[in-house]
Amino acid sequence: MGRQQLVVADAETGFLEEWGNGYYTNSPSELQNLLPALEEEKEVEKETQHGARLPMHCPCLAQHFPSSFRSSLAGAVTVDTVAALGARVAVFVAGDMKWYGGFVESIEADGNRLIVFDDGDIREVEPSKIQEMIDARPTPLFKAANASDGGLVANVAGLLMAARLLRVGNNIVGAFVGATDVTIGGEIMYEAFILRSGIIFPPPVRVRRGQDAPSQQERGGFHTFRRGDAVEYLFGDDAGPDEQCSAKATVFGVVEGRTNQGPEKALVLRCSTTQLFFLSRWPRWRRMPQPFVALAGVGVEFEPDNDAHAITMSAEDSAQMISDFQEAKSFERFDDYNKVLQPSRRASALPL
């Protein structure tokens, strides 16, 4: 007679009452002590009836047990213990066979976890899928991570960590990454904002005279900005002949605060001409294209949210900019977020 299928049913003993037939004599606590042996996969020798010793392979037996049973034996490593609200996690993404870090931003009513990853990706994951990845053997594919290790993107650790989401109404627009110790008007400055991949903004709701109204994305300036990006302020087609120019600067950080009119998103910029730091609102600022994109006729359309298309400074120059900012202390007097500025049409930048 073969063994019956193992199903954890009784909360106290772990087995069905009708299984009291001698086949299952180990309690769950005793089986827990056997788990390491069940999970071990190794080569052993076995003596045959003729005295010869032959190598044999002992497979990982635990993987053949139901995942719920393995979880109970492993010390109840569950979704609630690993993927609690605000927890840092590391997830193995099967699509590219690499690890990514992130944090649990919210837990929905159905238990789904909204996870913001360090590369700006945002995913809603069902708890059953998370538990399946936790129970994977020989290595869990979803596990707790330490903030002290920094961000994790495609197996590379020590990078910027996802910090918070940017929501506009019911839409998730993107993620702020790399929280700094700099505050402006009481608001935290971040090293970057990453636009959510695949986001679709609603079309313009009205048309101006002779022109289409700007989209929600353009009105809000919802584009990716990272520390070190070269950006320019575009004054628009309605500017006069002597105003068809652009102010150029380098991104030092991004911040979102509140003004008398409501939430206001600003860039912390460094003027390319004066080397002074200043604040300006997001709209109209765009990353500048790499030369291979800017050249006419090469067949490459500039995508401002594509990191490969944007000009950015070297790590050494970025480190120097950080040092210069710390020495300048340009924002000590900015205790009121209503003082956010934007460039003058008559000047390349407006220093503070």
Residue by residue, pLDDT tens for the chain (352 residues) are 444 444 444 444 444 454 444 444 444 444 455 555 555 555 555 554 555 555 555 555 545 555 555 555 545 689 999 999 999 999 999 888 999 999 999 999 999 999 999 999 999 999 999 999 999 988 999 999 999 999 999 999 999 999 999 988 788 999 999 999 988 878 899 999 999 987 776 666 655 555 666 666 776 678 899 999 999 987 655 544 444 445 889 999 999 876 666 667 888 888 888 888 888 888 778 899 888 775 555 567 888 889 989 999 999 999 999 999 888 765 543 444 455 444 444 333 333 3
* 228 and 266 fall within a common domain: yes
Is 50 part of any domain? no
Among the three residues 106, 124, 156, which one is the final residue of a domain in this structure?
Answer: 156
Q: Which of 266, 310, 306 is nearest to 176 (CA)?
A: 266
- DSSP assignment of 157-171 equals EEEPPEEEEEEETTE
* 124 and 262 fall within a common domain: no
* 179 and 250 fall within a common domain: yes
For residues 156 and 96, give the distance between their C-alpha atoms in angstroms, rounded to a whole number.
13
Among the three residues 156, 184, 208, which one is the final residue of a domain in this structure?
Answer: 156
Q: Which of 91, 103, 117 is nearest to 174 (CA)?
A: 117
What type of residue sits at position 113? R
* 296 and 225 fall within a common domain: yes
For residues 330 and 268, give the distance between their C-alpha atoms in angstroms, rounded to a whole number.
10
Is 37 part of any domain? no
* 184 and 134 fall within a common domain: no
Query: How many other CB atoms are there within 10 angstroms of residue 311's CB atom?
Result: 16
For residues 192 and 251, give the distance between their C-alpha atoms in angstroms, rounded to a whole number.
9
Helix (H, G, I), strand (E, B) or coil at 196: coil
pLDDT at residue 101, rounded to an integer = 97
Is 209 part of any domain? yes
* 276 and 321 fall within a common domain: yes
**Phi, psi at 134, each rounded to 5°:** -65, -40
Q: Which of 82, 80, 68 is nearest to 7 (CA)?
A: 68
Query: How many other CB atoms are there within 10 angstroms of residue 300's CB atom?
Result: 14
Distance of CA 310 to the CA centre of its chain: 20
- DSSP assignment of 88-122 equals EEEEEETTTTEEEEEEEEEE-TTS-EEEEETTS-E
For Cα atoms 124, 126, 163, give the angle at the middle one, nearest 5 degrees: 35
Buried-exposed string 85-105: b where 16+ CB fall within 10 A, e elsewhere: eebbbbbbeeeeeebbbbbbb
* pTM: predicted TM-score of the whole model, two decimal places: 0.70
Is 67 part of any domain? no
Domain that holds residue 151: 78-156
What radius of gyration, in Å, describes the C-alpha atoms of the chain? 28
